[in-house]
Amino acid sequence: MSMAAAPAPDTLGEILARLSALHPAAIDLSLDRMTRLLAQLDHPEAKLPPVIHVAGTNGKGSTIAYLRAICEAAGLRVHVFTSPHLVRLHESIRLAGALVGDDELLAAYAHCERVNAGAPITLFEVETAVAFTLFAKHPADVVLLEVGLGGRLDATNVIEKPAACVFTPIGIDHTDFLGDTLLKIAAEKAGIIKRRVPVITAEQSPEVTAVIEQQARKGHAPTYSAGQEWHVGVERGRLVYQDDRGLMDLAAPKLFGRHQFGNAGLAIATLRALDLFKIDSAAYEAGVARAEWPARMQRLTSGRLVEIAPKDSEIWLDGGHNADGGRVVAAALGDLEERVSRPLVAIVGMMANKDAAGFLANFAGLTRHIIAVEIPDRVGAMTPEALADAARSLGMRVEISASVAAALTSLTKLAYEVPPRILIAGSLYLAGHVLAENGTPPA
């Protein structure tokens, strides 16, 4: 008599589908579900190396990229948790320098699903619990932890005593969850500040600075603010950093755009304020020069989409999706235009809850040619028609295309005296789709 074959193990996709069904009917920012699950998992969040917790509106991923590159250049083992992923879920979790493997990620999700036992939970909460579970199992010297949404009630805000709380520039975004004013948003993000834990912050608007400093004073947390305790600038194309411990003259960041000098400076200030690790100037130099972060003014030089674009054109990919994100991308494009002038075309896709006009207004002085596309396979994507209306309200010439590939193909039919500079932007979800379709996913 033949034995029945054992059932095939669940795939990650099957587990994620089941967990999705447990999502509360409405987004409910709360730490209750997270603290319950972590307690059932025997508190992996309490068994981590020193944690650097990073909040903000723009620049979180880039700042973490600099922190990781500098620490690794100094010989440290670094765990990293970032979100959202662009192409594969694995991108969100790095274990001592390497992306988590398929089998280990699947096993961690299966374990967290079993322990959760069908209770209400969000996918991000499970992802965060998975990251903490994996981090607790693998030795490392430091954890770099990115806030998912806001701060005070974000799933990552369960670390009782991080080594540092870091704030990248804070602006208007996610108003449907965090509040409709900059003060309300800043207050939510400042909610990660812990008693007597150092606070390191990028240059902020005066009202944001006031919120952060007030929260820090309540918790007797020392603050290290850009423009006060530390300074970063550009001299002869190099990054110059200065604080009360001295001055460093370093190579320019590998990541493109003048805003990256500020992100790199914030990473340097964080590590120098902590003084937990022995990091020499050579490691700072190497880290700043080597750091990589996909879809942040990323130049696409090869791949399937590059091949169908106009010959010799420049293609830049950025996940910026709010007014401040558009501002720094526009500044970077302005710098490129000063170096080599090219006609600019922006292929844009956004989510429906974003301020399309606020984002696009940054490019009004750089281009009048916008191609609106819809983000594929994404619930809540803005329709190309709505995006086109926002562009027209700014006096921009806009057309609608069925896809990024179709938009690039259409550009080959136009007569350019100089090959164009093409920006693809508006959403990290669109950026992830582009990297996948181009055949160049993050490694």
Which CATH number characterizes residue 166's domain?
3.40.1190.10
- Report the predicted TM-score, pTM, of the whole model to 2 decimal places: 0.94
Q: What is the pLDDT of residues 386-439, one digit of tens each?
A: 999 999 999 999 999 999 999 999 999 998 999 999 999 999 999 999 999 999
d(CA 244, CA 120): 49
**Which of 236, 266, 290 corresponds to the end of one domain?**
290
What pLDDT sits at residue 30? 86
Q: What is the pLDDT of residues 253-266, one digit of tens each?
A: 999 999 999 999 99
Band of residue 24 on the pLDDT scale cut at 50, 70, 90 = confident
- My answer on whether 334 and 285 are in the same domain is no
What pLDDT sits at residue 1? 44
- Which token pair is 341? 């002038």
E-assigned strand segments in 321-443: 344-348, 369-372, 397-400, 421-425
- My answer on whether 271 and 418 are in the same domain is no
- My answer on whether 251 and 342 are in the same domain is no
Q: Is residue 127 part of a domain?
A: yes
Looking at the 3D structure of the chain, how many domains does it have? 2
d(CA 260, CA 64): 12
Q: What is the pLDDT of residues 27-37, one digit of tens each?
A: 677 899 999 99
d(CA 6, CA 175): 49
Burial track 153-177 (b if 16+ CB lie within 10 A, e otherwise): bbbbbbbeebbbbbbbbbbbbebee
d(CA 327, CA 320): 9
Whether the CA torsion 254, 260, 265, 271 is positive or negative: it is negative
- My answer on whether 194 and 341 are in the same domain is no
Q: What is the pLDDT of residues 58-82, one digit of tens each?
A: 999 999 999 999 999 999 999 999 9
- My answer on whether 407 and 306 are in the same domain is yes
> Which of 172, 121, 97, 105 has its CA nearest to residue 19?
121
Cα→Cα distances 79→68, 97, 267, 300, 368, Å: 9, 7, 16, 28, 43
**Which of 263, 290, 317 corresponds to the end of one domain?**
290
- My answer on whether 274 and 344 are in the same domain is no
What pLDDT sits at residue 6? 53
- My answer on whether 246 and 308 are in the same domain is no
AA identity, residue 258? R
Which CATH number characterizes residue 321's domain?
3.90.190.20
Domain extent, residue 258, equals 12-290
- My answer on whether 125 and 245 are in the same domain is yes
d(CA 264, CA 340): 25
- My answer on whether 105 and 161 are in the same domain is yes
**Which of 290, 319, 336 corresponds to the end of one domain?**
290
- My answer on whether 225 and 365 are in the same domain is no
Question: What own/partner pairs with CB < 8 Å and gap ≥ 24 does 231-237 have?
Answer: 231/265, 232/261, 232/262, 232/264, 232/265, 232/266, 232/268, 232/269, 233/261, 234/258, 234/261
Q: State mean pLDDT over 303-331.
A: 96
Q: Three-state DSSP class for 324?
A: helix
Q: Three-state DSSP class for 359?
A: helix
d(CA 64, CA 185): 21
d(CA 279, CA 248): 13
Is the CB of residue 150 less than 8 Å from the CB of residue 175?
A: no
> Which of 210, 257, 233, 19 has its CA nearest to residue 127?
19
